Amino acid sequence: MIDQTVPGLHAGVKILHDPVRNKGTAYTEAERDALKLRGLLPPRIHSMAEQELRVLGNIRAKTTDLERYLYLVALQDRNENLFYRVVINHLEEMMPIIYTPTVGKACQEFQHIFRKPRGFYVSLGDKGRVKEILQNWPHKDVRIIVITDGERILGLGDLGADGMGIPIGKLALYSACAGIHPTQCMPVMLDVGTNNENLLNDPLYNGLERRRVRGKDYDELFDEFITAAKELFPGVLIQIEDFGNTNAFRLLEQYRGNTCLFDDDIQGTGAVAVAGVIAAMRITGGKLADQKILFLGAGEAGIGIADVFVSALKEKGMNEEEARKHCWFVDSKGLLVAGRDNIAVHKEPYAHEHESITGFADAVEALKPTAILGLSGQPRTFTREVIEAMARINERPVIFALSNPTSQAECTAEQAYTWSAGRAIFASGSPFDPVKLGNQLFVPGQGNNAYIFPGVGLGVIVSRSRIVTDEMFLAAAHSLANQVTEADLERGRVYPALSRIRQVSALIARDVAKIAYDSGFTDREEPDDILADIHEYMYHPVYPHYA
């Protein structure tokens, strides 16, 4: 477990500047004497609950979400236990601030709001000595690394080194949603340049002032990092995040067989979306084998969802070729069909025989899908024409506008419900407020990867699995769908309430860990009660006693 002892040099003012051990005004009288804190703090001792009230008051007094984000980042930098107590106890309020959609705005402004470094930067200039510099990281028991190269941040594109906000935010969710201790989390930015002209021309940009490198130099730097991380942090789980399509698919395929690694944009998004589709079947009464999904966008997220959906159909006895015919894609060139020129390798399995179609609305009319899933990063592309067509074709059309942040969503919740006369089963990637239509209140589900990756990561870490498999993500999808209650479905929500996410993550972790034990992916002996073992591992933000 975590070492909460205080070395001698962490006495006095130094412990107040250590976010892992700082308790602020909550130090007891005995601790103030033992740690030489007399005179360095106001005399009144506050409980953690009272400190939480102060934090909430300050957050709610801010006028913008970006200001709230900055306040919470500052709290995280000075008192991690209090930060996580606030986030966990008020997750539905805080998650949109510490992650999507606000983190997108924070990344866009990162060079201007930069105050204190957090996370670890590996750049082209470090090539040949990555292992050496990794030893500068202050925490040695690293269990999870989230790494990005900043090329495809949410739906915002290439933000270079300013994409560091993403791994920081993802790891905050690992701690809040799944109980991975903050000191076991390491955010990493692989800075290989940027093609964003605005950043290259900004004198305050913190990253390399050069265009993005590709090819041999890129591959060698990435491989050097992976090799060094595995050597210095044995058994570490590595999550690759917001890489561009050029690298994401090939890096996943290259390393997944010999490294404990996964790509959340491909596998995590796949699992969370398929969980939503499975849950939606409880509303429609349909069968998974009867669904036809039309995707808008054929990048990492779309292909990842299709792959998990195909796995779910194969689990039901369908062969792979037939299963793939239940997934159709419209990309920037129109309907993905066999024989089209220059089809990317990752798209080829889903290029079916059909006449060419340019527009998405025309594809809806021609294919008559039961569900449309938006992963294009193109806002308002689920037009009134599209949604009305879906409502005409289906009694309960499934409409998932999954692009992040909120500004990039293919449609709003209000549009989906209004244009379908309240019959749409809607989910989005970023949060939307409930919608009142007539006498009915609809609560949109948020198909956020936070329902999946923390639980998968927790299960892998606790079981000490050597690899992460597609079977684990399919199990996570089923686990998540099974945790949607009848009360959720009655309100039109196909995901559990975010307030339950730690319980959701623990159950997903149990199912993932079970696969690791049963498949021999770990040398750890299976405990008598996997769920109890997981709960015992989970971090809870409480102050330790030092005297």
Catalytic positions, written as ranges: 99, 170
Q: How far apart are alpha carbons 101 and 87 in whole angstroms?
A: 16
Instruction: Using alpha carbons, select from 215, 214, 222 the residue that is nearest to residue 158.
Output: 214
Per residue, the 3-state secondary structure of 109-171, as one string, reads: CHHHHCCCCCCEEEEHHHCCCHHHHHCCCCCCCCCEEEEECCCCECCCECCHHHHHHHHHHHH
369 prior amide bond cis, ω within 30: no
Q: How far apart are alpha carbons 450 and 170 in whole angstroms?
A: 8
CA gyration radius, the chain: 24
DSSP state letters, 433-450: --EEETTEEE--EE--GG
Q: Which two tokens stand for residue 140?
A: 């040695």
Q: How far apart are alpha carbons 313 and 204 in whole angstroms?
A: 50
Q: Which two tokens stand for residue 2?
A: 């975590």
Q: Which two tokens stand for residue 223?
A: 């491989």
Q: Which residue has the tokens 């300013």?
A: 162
Containing 292, the helix (H) or strand (E) segment is none
CB 368 within 8 A of CB 393: yes
Helix (H, G, I), strand (E, B) or coil at 311: helix
Q: How far apart are alpha carbons 140 and 232 in whole angstroms?
A: 8
Q: Which residues contact 129 (CB under 8 A, 6 or more apart)?
A: none
Q: How far apart are alpha carbons 336 and 348 in whole angstroms?
A: 9
CB 44 within 8 A of CB 25: yes
DSSP state letters, 174-185: HHHHH---GGGE
Q: Which residues contact 184 (CB under 8 A, 6 or more apart)?
A: 139, 141, 142, 143, 144, 461
